[in-house]
Amino acid sequence: YTITVHPSDNGAAIDDSMYGVFFEDINFAADGGLYAELVRNRSFEFLPADRSGYNGLTGWTVTGTATTVNDDARLNDRNRTYLRVTGSAGLTNAGYNSGIATKKGNIYDFSVWARADAGATLNVALGGATLARKVTTDTWTRYTGTLRATTTTDAGRLTVSVDKSARLDEVSLIPRDTYKGHGLRRDLAEKVAALKPGFVRFPGGCLVNTGSMYGYDAANNYPRARSYQWKDTVGPVETRATNANFWGYNQSYGLGYYEYFQFSEDIGAQPLPVLPALVTGCGQNRATNDPALLQKYIQDTLDLIEFANGPVTSTWGRVRAQMGHPKPFGLSKVAIGNEENLPEEYFANYLQFRAAIKAKYPNVTVISNSGPDDTGATFDNLWAKNKAAGSDMVDEHYYNSPSWFLQNNARYDSYDRSGPKVFLGEYASLDAKFANSLAEAAYMTGLERNADVVKMASYAPLYANIDNVQWRPDLIWFDNDESWGTTSYQMQKLFMTNVGDRVVPSTTTGAVVQPKPITGRVGLSTWATAAKYDDLKVTTPDGTTLLSDDFGDGNADGWTSLSNRGTWSVQDGAYVQSDTAATNTMVAAATDITATDYDVTLKATKT
């Protein structure tokens, strides 16, 4: 058929900041990823998180006598557990994945907080590189030194030998060579910088709201498994209280709000934080009815804007200045919440956040959202509420098959031009093949055609550590010393580094060939908590098997989880185990499935 372009007609203007990235600490994207720290569990704070089986010595091997202790001798109130060596001990940290990556000749900055009542000597070794430090006082003191690596390896170890009784905490090893000297792993930061993102959405995702109701673990007198609260993540790293995260592992918060703002600035992107709305999402259904707690969260959000933009004489602007950035970061947008499951409760809270923010900072854009799904009653309900309330912008998320993206190219053609603008905060085509990137590219032409309504878009998730994957597909993959982009990365790069100024309208004549659906979708809506399933099959109503998998090779071939309605994994190469709530969903992503709904036969193994 024929395509005719109409250069004299004015199409939508496309903002330079239309395309950005969404960073979430999923797939070990922060610790063991973008944050360059090489020591795992440096502050001995790993406590058993929901799914991890962690303990205070996770990541460490001890010879001699050394135990983790949480008592009054602690380093500070927010870094409560430390390591007590009795007599003498050797401590080895295994880092992440295969170990600690070093490059021969490069410098690594070591530091540790220590105290010893009778003095002690620390002998530190990284491969063949060594240093010694004398602990001279029984007051917590930070000891530092540098190590020049003698070997190139991705499986090194850091060893600290202690000759006498001592207390240690916050053992750190960071490569001197980080992105712009700001503590982030160079290759991972450069891959994002190469996209020239207009914005960085952070820190999540599901991670943001998790545990909103659990401000404090009363049983352990310990503030953990709480929502992502920005104040936990700023100031000296040894005062940042670590936390379990939604994705089943601990986060050190070494990569915190200051670092996110700094990184955004370093790559020329607008920072776009997502704040917890005090209503959980991502399969959890909890909201607070505690007005005082809600006011605290709202005040924290106002304080964040002051932290980012306030003068150095303001309370939080001073904290920013003390951390090394007297100049404001220029925060202009904040998002309230992520995929909340309770629309009424979420929206009531959002309105209170918005009122407070607009009263103090009228020029800050406040982004609302449309719930956990791109379709259905919650989505419609929240969009209607957002329209009625005159929201600035609404965050939409969807993960779907390549065929869905091809078939929904016109999604925004009919959106109300006078309603809230759209922030497509998360999207990705769910297939294991190149079809993803082609479908995404086709879809992005629809975003650009509607750039008067769709003001921002970010693919998700951004990073995946090959040994710790909670979600796929992802844009950038990495191990200890290498990283690589997927075909979707290359596709994003193509669009992001060639953002047009204006859409040139076009028309077509002739027969338009409709794309055929290339994947099928099956929903397993009765997925039970911790249930195990084997021999998953997709069958047509007449009994033909289209896809089956016994998981014998340890993979779930042709299957992928849909969005975050719970997570699941292959266990022992034998069955699939679902480990969260009842709303888990799976998608068959085999290219030979050509219709949209099939029956699913599930066979449960004995648990």
Q: How far is the CB of 201 from ligand AHR (least distance, A)?
A: 10
| Greatest Cα-to-Cα distance within the chain, rounded to the nearest angstrom | 88
| Active-site residue identified among 24, 306, 339, 448 | 339
338, 400, 560, 578: residue in contact with ligand AHR (rule CB under 6 A): 338
- End-to-end alpha carbon distance in the chain: 57
Q: How many Å apart are CA 178 and CA 174, to the nearest integer?
A: 9
Stretch that binds ligand AHR, among 8-16, 199-207, 374-382, 593-601 (CB under 6 A): 199-207
List, in sequence order, the alpha helices (H) in 85-205: 186-193
Q: Smallest distance, Å, CB 206 to ligand AHR?
A: 4
The CA–CA distances, whole Å, from 133 to 37, 109, 139, 372 equal: 21, 14, 15, 52
| Binding status of residue 397 toward ligand AHR by CB under 6 A | yes
Q: Which is nearer to ligand AHR, 29 or 91 (CB)?
A: 29
Which residue lies nearer to ligand AHR by CB, 140 or 228? 228
Q: State in angstroms the smallest separation of the CB of 93 from ligand AHR.
A: 29
Q: Which of 33, 198, 203, 204 binds ligand AHR (CB under 6 A)?
A: 204
Q: 368 or 563, CB closer to ligand AHR? A: 563
Residue nearer to ligand AHR on the CB measure, 22 or 307? 22
Angstrom distance (rounded) from CA 484 to CA 445: 25
**By CB under 6 A, what part of segment 538-577 binds ligand AHR?**
563-564
- Which residue is closest to ligand AHR by CB? 205
| Residue 374 vs 448, nearer CB to ligand AHR | 374
Spell out the residues 6+ positions from residue 402 whose beta carbon is closer than 8 angstroms to its own: 429, 430, 431, 435, 436, 438, 439, 518, 519
- 471 forms part of the interface with ligand AHR (CB under 6 A): yes
232 binds ligand AHR (CB under 6 A): no
Map the footprint of ligand AHR across residues 18-77, applying CB under 6 A. Answer: 24, 26
For residue 282, the minimal CB distance to ligand AHR (Å) is 6
Q: What is the SS3 assignment for 202? A: strand
Please tell me whether residue 211 binds ligand AHR under the rule CB under 6 A.
Answer: no
Interactions with ligand AHR, residue window 84-113 (CB under 6 A)? none
Distance CA 560, CA 590 (A): 10
Residue 377's contacts (CB-CB under 8 Å, 6 or more residues apart) are: none
Least separation in angstroms between CB 247 and ligand AHR: 8
CB of 165 to ligand AHR, least distance (A): 44
Give the total of residues touching ligand AHR (CB under 6 A): 15
Catalytic annotation present for 339: yes
The residue from 25, 238, 265, 339 that contacts ligand AHR (CB under 6 A) is 339
Please state the separation of Cα 242 from the chain's center in Å. Answer: 16
- The answer to whether residue 426 forms part of the interface with ligand AHR (CB under 6 A) is yes
303: CB partners within 8 A, 6+ apart: 231, 315, 316
> Which region among 150-158, 200-208, 228-236, 350-358 touches ligand AHR (by CB under 6 A)?
200-208
Per CB under 6 A, which region of 38-46, 160-168, 202-210, 361-369 contacts ligand AHR? 202-210
Where b means 16+ CB within 10 Å and e means fewer, 469-499 reads ebbebbbbbbbbbebebbbbbebbbebbeeb
Closest CA relative to residue 593, chosen from 555, 550, 552, 537: 537
Q: Which residues contact 500 (CB under 8 A, 6 or more apart)?
A: 14, 448
E-strand stretches of 153-304? 153-156, 158-162, 166-175, 199-202, 243-244, 250-251, 270-275
H runs (alpha helix) in 413-534? 435-449, 487-496
394 touches ligand AHR (CB under 6 A): no
**In whole angstroms, how close is the CB of 487 to ligand AHR at the nearest point?**
18
Q: Does 449 bind ligand AHR (CB under 6 A)?
A: no
DSSP 377-442: HHHHHHHHHHHHHT-SEEEEEEEE-HHHHHHTTTGGGGS-TTS-EEEEEEEEE--SSTHHHHHHHH
Applying the rule CB under 6 A, the residues between 148 and 187 that interact with ligand AHR are: none
Region from 9-17, 108-116, 203-211, 494-502 binding ligand AHR, contact rule CB under 6 A: 203-211
CB 36 within 8 A of CB 175: yes
Chain position carrying tokens 């069955």: 575
Taking CB under 6 A as the binding criterion, the range among 182-190, 198-206, 499-507, 551-559 that sits at the site for ligand AHR is 198-206
Q: Are 30 and 224 a contacting pair, CB within 8 Å?
A: no
What's phi and psi for 197, nearest 5 deg? -65, 145
Contact with ligand AHR (CB under 6 A) among 125, 160, 168, 206: 206
Output 411 or 565, the one with its CB closest to ligand AHR.
Answer: 565
Q: Around Cβ 262, how many Cβ atoms within 10 Å? A: 20
Q: Which is nearer to ligand AHR, 564 or 578 (CB)?
A: 564
* Shortest spacing between CB 283 and ligand AHR, in angstroms: 9
Instruction: Give yes or no for residue 461 binding ligand AHR (CB under 6 A).
Output: yes
Task: Give least dist CB 497 to ligand AHR, A.
Answer: 23
| Nearest approach, Cβ of residue 21 and ligand AHR (Å) | 12
| Alpha carbon distance 133, 128 (integer Å) | 17
**CA 394 – CA 99 distance, rounded (Å):** 42
Report the candidate in 115, 113, 138, 134 with the shortest Cα–Cα distance to residue 123.
134
Which residues, 267 to 306, sit near ligand AHR by CB under 6 A? 282
Q: Does position 439 bind ligand AHR by CB under 6 A?
A: no
Task: Provide the annotated active-site residues.
Answer: 339
Which residues make up the interface to ligand AHR (CB under 6 A)? 24, 26, 204-206, 282, 338-339, 397, 426, 460-461, 471, 563-564
